Amino acid sequence: MILSDTKIRDEIRKGRIVIRPYRPSSLGTNSYDVHLGPYLAVYRDPALDARVLNPVKEFRIPSSGYVLVPGQLYLAVTEEYTETHGFVPFLEGKSSLGRLGIDIHATAGKGDEGFSNYWTLEMSVKLPVRVYAGMPVGQLIYFEISGPVRNSYATKRSAKYRKVSAHPQPSRMYLNFPQGRARGRRYRAPRGAR
């Protein structure tokens, strides 16, 4: 079952859903609008390797906006930090964004119960389009869970994106390979991302 606006508000009061910053005007009928954060990142290498940590170049979106171009994958981040306890959050793109040819996630629209972080977006476009920090970029939908959760994302040892960061996070697929940590390239996080 999807949570209504009233239920989302109730769960925020109880602390089972956390959204910071919270804007009452962003609460929809059965979703909450999230906004594009100030940072974008692109991978440095034209060919990526799933067995290593691929370095990224991060930059701040200027106040005049930034033009996304087809054929380039952009890692972005939500302006909002969220926590979800006892529900499953889904992040979907807004229809107004879709009508501009913007996709906000390649595959990862579903979060896990216990996820507590900013959302990294995997953005791509069909046509060149200018985007702005702070613009509505997606909507969070919350689903009730049937049955107890034994392995929350907050405590799962294999969770790869638990470290809280307001910066886009590159893929950590390499950790799924044997010796992934040992074989990954040395990677230095951008300033402020540590």
Please identify which of the residues 83, 92, 113, 122 carries the catalytic annotation: 122
Please say whether the beta carbons of 61 and 71 come within 8 A: no
Best CA proximity match to 121, nearest among 105, 107, 103, 102: 105
Encoded tokens for 186 = 């040395």
Is 83 labeled as catalytic in the residue annotation? Answer: no
Please give the backbone phi and psi of residue 9, each rounded to the nearest 5 degrees, phi first.
-60, -45
Cα 92 from Cα 22, distance rounded (Å): 18
Query: H or E element: which one contains 69?
Result: none
Best CA proximity match to 27, nearest among 14, 9, 1: 9
Residues whose CB falls within 8 Å of the CB of residue 73, separated by 6 or more in sequence, listed in order? 42, 43, 106, 122, 123, 124
Cα 110 from Cα 118, distance rounded (Å): 14
> Which burial class, exposed, middle or buried, applies to 82 when counting CB atoms under 10 A from its CB (0-12, 13-18, 19+)?
buried
Active site residues: 122
